[in-house]
Amino acid sequence: MDVRIVTQAFDPQQEVAAFAAGRDDAGALVSFIGTCRAATGGVAVSELHIDHYPGFSEKEIARLAEETARRFACPDLLVVHRVGPICPGEAIVLVAALSEHRNNAFEVVRILMDYLKTDAPLWKKETGPTGTRWIEPRNEDYARRRQAGEGTS
Amino acid sequence: MVRLVFLGKFGDVAPASLAEVALPSDIVTLQDLKAWVARQQPLLGAAMEATRTRLIVNQCVAHDLSQRIADGDEIAFLPPMSGG
């Protein structure tokens, strides 16, 4: 299990390659990369800023990852989450899972992303042509979180 | 003295003077503290009132606002989270 918060740009492909290197115990590798969009709802985004609470954010994301991995009997997970200022096109989050078979690897990545949207102690602020705005989870994010289960709160 | 941390949009309206404060003697619980902060900074109080606010004490989630505050505590005010 490797869970990290980083303040600098990272290369998700390189991270995934290092994570999976030599893991011939796993028959499936699934990864998700979330990137910063250049526009939201047709409105340009010049920068995204993610605020975090040092110590607590790392601890909570690790807890979410460990509980999700245990739930899906997933032997190993990688989570890298960027904080601070982020430019369009740069990676925000990487979640990768190794598993014996593909179904558990797909599920653990999907469910962990649902948790991260609403339960990871991180706060996004978008800057665009009309100023800045803090982003809060949408109703559909909360709905997906409920479907994902209440086991980690 | 207690340390107060305001995250996300709360950080935009919280003055630096609230980072470390000596609380009046009648501020005993987290509920008292939340109300006191709102009285000191009405903008911050309105922002907390308008959304779900979670309190974290010394890096642990506070589930009960009747929890007592101790000298030296670090208490964080968290608006709804938006990771991923």
Cα distance from A137 to chain B (closest Cα, Å)? 6
CATH number of the CATH domain containing A32: 3.90.1170.40
pLDDT in tens, B31-66: 999 999 999 999 999 999 999 999 999 999 999 999
For tokens 């499936």, the residue is: A28
ipTM at complex level: 0.93
Separation CA A51–CA A85 (nearest Å): 9
Helix (H) or strand (E) holding B34: helix B30-40
Range of the domain at A108: 2-147
Q: Does B41 touch chain A (CB under 8 A)?
A: no
**Facing residue for B81 by CB, picked from A59, A113, A121:** A121
Mean pLDDT of B1-21: 96
Is B2-78 a domain of CATH 3.10.20.30?
yes
pLDDT tens for the 153 residues of chain A, in order: 999 999 999 999 999 999 999 999 999 999 999 999 999 888 999 999 999 999 999 999 999 999 999 999 888 999 999 999 999 999 999 999 999 999 999 999 999 999 999 999 999 999 999 999 998 888 888 888 888 875 554
A149 and A65 in contact (C-beta within 8 Å)? no
Separation CA A83–CA A93 (nearest Å): 9
Name the residue ranges covered by the structural domains of chain B. 2-78
Cβ contacts (< 8 Å) between A52 and chain B: which residues?
7
> Domain count of chain A?
1
User: Is the Cα dihedral A130, A136, A139, A145 positive or negative?
Assistant: positive
Q: Which of residues 4-33 of B touch A (CB under 8 A)?
A: 5, 7-9, 11-12
Give domain status of residue A153, yes or no: no
Q: pTM above the 0.80 mark?
A: yes
- Backbone dihedral angles phi then psi of residue B74, each to the nearest 5 degrees: -110, 120
